Chains A and B, each alone.
Chain A
């Protein structure tokens, strides 16, 4: 009943891999301001993503010939080094983390040939079409509809909170193809590969409280998707989405969003330091690394990580959200750049426990997994 979070064996080349990634990042880091680093994995830079792809660090875990056939633990090492540096991985992040694995697992050979090479090169950008205005935590209640037409489907409805839709080349979107109604809530859902240049598709930006635009609303007015762009089985969308969400919840970005801020803060602590505050934060970061790395190891063993990922995400979000307060405690007099970082992370911190499923939903999942009926 209790999850155990065993550690994976070390990879033989871990030190060398870290050196490689750090050397690569050092070549690019001069261009990143402290605010860029604060944005962490939301930062969007197509040139950087292409450079990462050229090094073979996107699609690492996809089996050959689609990707590089490396382990989740190897990918984890690369990704955590990028996150520690606050690198702008946003342009390839979603595609690498969840879209490509989903396409490789459920897609047709033609879909894999069409989409995966571009993802692996760091050129093709994906967004996630799940939430709707009336369907957030209750994803199964979505009403956007896909209707069969000649040669494919017609999509009508709207998606919201779609990060990066304005940059994306493709969306993997969940639409209702069944009858709807309570008997059919989770049945009758289908995933589609939507070309973001399709006619009938309108993207409206949503500015967040920092004034930046990452979120979007995406309106579908008779968007045509050809039959060969249905992803997986019609009606199997719910099962696919659940697996996709496990990927979305599983990685080190779920506890490292505020880590560049923490690192920056340590360069400005005063003579005396609140040792309890610092030590607690360090213990928590190490705890999360152990838990998060274990999830990667379990993925290499083919285990179902849905429960472990939900727990890791919830525990991680709590740490990320506390980090600005840790920094405020440790650095009574931050300079302007650090001040700006603290303010930025403070503003976006509420999203840490919301995106990918709220803390309360994760806890409900955990409780069920622990045996509460």
Chain B
């Protein structure tokens, strides 16, 4: 078993132990799961994606895909995924990551202005603002290149906002607050956040599929488990199709982002997994019928996250528009090449050095 799988399994076990429906409800009510957070850091996750030269483990997206999927599958009530990704982006840009929890704004176009080393404006829908110390965000430079910014939460005004997942979200407003900046790839946070959510959605769908199958096999009506009825079987098969689509595209995007060729693949992954999230939630609720929409039953913990994560870092409509933009930029005859590239293939005109 490779190291990535070991980390994923360890994370999954830890999250399963801490992820009872009661624990998730208490987290929604504001209880910070401090013990869980410390144990996740104890696994080395915080620096997992940081390059080895900068004190990390040098894992890539493919290595950690299973871990991010586990974070989704177990409805993890702490921002470990955001923290891991934010730390990696900060270190890769050459900045030293500050102490404390790093988080992200989950909207794709923060409304901010940079003036020298000062930031003003709004970073909306920041997750886990209560316990996090710094926000990492992407912005453009004057020359049109990309930048990464790191700003303290305490330097801004926090306005909590409700979210469908009922995990802590807040809008942060800044007035000329000090910010550390470094050159980085344009939209790096959006791209990384979109892939993180695609993998989380994949994990959540896996869990919902398993729970739906269990329910269909145990709920008896008309003298038999409802899973014996073709109507239910057809729905569950469709759920399985959506699971496959989410998994395949998210894993493909992980590989692509590791090769620094991620933009198209991530767009596909987030577009497809976001669409899958909605369909999966609908099917699961249909199969579970009334019990599935009650607060006491577990399903809502997963489906509200599916509804949340499909919107974070660009919903399916945003990323489809990105794909359409890429396709029209490629030109009328470029679509086949685009599809090959976005699915990890090597096109005919690739130079020899890219074919291994």
Total interface residues on B, using CB and 8 Å?
65
Q: How far is the CA of A315 from the CA of B343 in the complex (A)?
A: 16
Q: Is B275 an interface residue (CB 8 A)?
A: yes
Q: Is there contact, CB below 8 Å, between B336 and A84?
A: yes
Residues of B within 8 Å of A84, CB to CB, are 336
The answer, among A22, A278, A290, for a CB contact under 8 Å with B343, is A290
Within 8 A of A (CB), among B218-257: 225, 227-228, 230, 232-234, 236-238, 240-241, 243-245, 247-249, 251-252, 255
Q: Which of B6-14, B21-29, B148-156, B205-213 contacts A (4 or more CB under 8 A)?
A: B205-213
The answer, among A1, A266, A289, for a CB contact under 8 Å with B332, is A266
Q: Is there contact, CB below 8 Å, between B252 and A7?
A: yes
Q: Is there contact, CB below 8 Å, between A2 and B350?
A: no
Q: Is there contact, CB below 8 Å, between B213 and A279?
A: no
CB-nearest residue of chain B relative to A371?
A: B213
Query: Would you call the interface of chain A mostly helix, strand, loop, or mixed?
Result: helix
What interface size band does chain A fall in?
A: 35 or more
Q: Least Cβ distance of B270 to chain A in Å? A: 9
Q: Is there contact, CB below 8 Å, between A273 and B237?
A: no
Within 8 A of B (CB), among A46-74: none
Q: Least Cβ distance of B252 to chain A in Å? A: 5
Q: Digitize B309-350: 1 where CB-to-A-CB distance is under 8 Å, 0 elsewhere.
A: 000000011011111110110001101101110111111111
Q: Is there contact, CB below 8 Å, between B354 and A286?
A: no
Q: Is there contact, CB below 8 Å, between A291 and B339?
A: no
Given contacts A15-B346, A279-B271, contact A266 B241 (CB under 8 A): no
Q: Is A276 an interface residue (CB 8 A)?
A: yes
Q: How far is the CA of A84 from the CA of B243 in the complex (A)?
A: 27
Q: Is there contact, CB below 8 Å, between A282 and B343?
A: no
Given contacts A16-B355, A371-B217, contact A291 B234 (CB under 8 A): no
Q: Is B356 an interface residue (CB 8 A)?
A: yes
Q: Which of A107-115, A231-239, A360-368 contacts B (4 or more CB under 8 A)?
A: A360-368
Within 8 A of A (CB), among B61-108: none
Q: Is there contact, CB below 8 Å, between B244 and A5?
A: yes
Q: Is there contact, CB below 8 Å, between A18 and B348?
A: yes
Q: Is there contact, CB below 8 Å, between B324 and A282?
A: yes
Q: Is B147 an interface residue (CB 8 A)?
A: no
Q: How far is the CA of A372 from the CA of B245 in the complex (A)?
A: 20
Q: Is A182 an interface residue (CB 8 A)?
A: no
Residues of B within 8 Å of A18, CB to CB, are 346-348
Residues of B within 8 Å of A151, CB to CB, are none
Residues of B within 8 Å of A77, CB to CB, are 345
Given contacts A266-B327, A360-B234, A364-B230, contact A279 B321 (CB under 8 A): yes
CB-nearest residue of chain B relative to A291?
A: B248
Q: How far is the CA of A16 from the CA of B328 in the complex (A)?
A: 26
Q: Is A314 an interface residue (CB 8 A)?
A: yes
Q: Is there contact, CB below 8 Å, between A2 and B247?
A: yes
The answer, among B209, B244, B323, B345, for a CB contact under 8 Å with A315, is B244
Q: Is A149 an interface residue (CB 8 A)?
A: no
The answer, among B236, B247, B339, for a CB contact under 8 Å with A285, is B339
Residues of B within 8 Å of A286, CB to CB, are 249, 252, 264-265, 268, 272, 339, 342-343
Q: Digitize A274-290: 1 where CB-to-B-CB distance is under 8 Å, 0 elsewhere.
A: 01101110111111011
User: Can you show 30 pairs from A to B with CB atoms below 8 A apart?
Assistant: A1-B210, A1-B213, A2-B206, A4-B247, A5-B247, A6-B251, A10-B346, A12-B355, A15-B350, A19-B348, A22-B348, A77-B345, A262-B335, A267-B332, A273-B324, A273-B328, A279-B319, A279-B322, A279-B323, A282-B335, A283-B272, A286-B265, A287-B245, A287-B249, A290-B249, A314-B237, A370-B213, A371-B213, A372-B227, A372-B228
The 9 closest A-B pairs by CB, nearest first: A279-B320, A363-B237, A367-B233, A275-B324, A366-B237, A18-B348, A279-B323, A14-B346, A372-B227
Chain B residues packing against A (C-beta within 8 Å): 206, 209-210, 213, 216-217, 225, 227-228, 230, 232-234, 236-238, 240-241, 243-245, 247-249, 251-252, 255, 264-265, 267-268, 271-272, 275, 316-317, 319-325, 327-328, 332-333, 335-336, 338-340, 342-350, 352, 354-356
Chain A residues packing against B (C-beta within 8 Å): 1-7, 10, 12-16, 18-19, 22, 77, 84, 262-263, 266-267, 269, 273, 275-276, 278-280, 282-287, 289-291, 293-294, 311, 314-315, 360, 362-364, 366-373
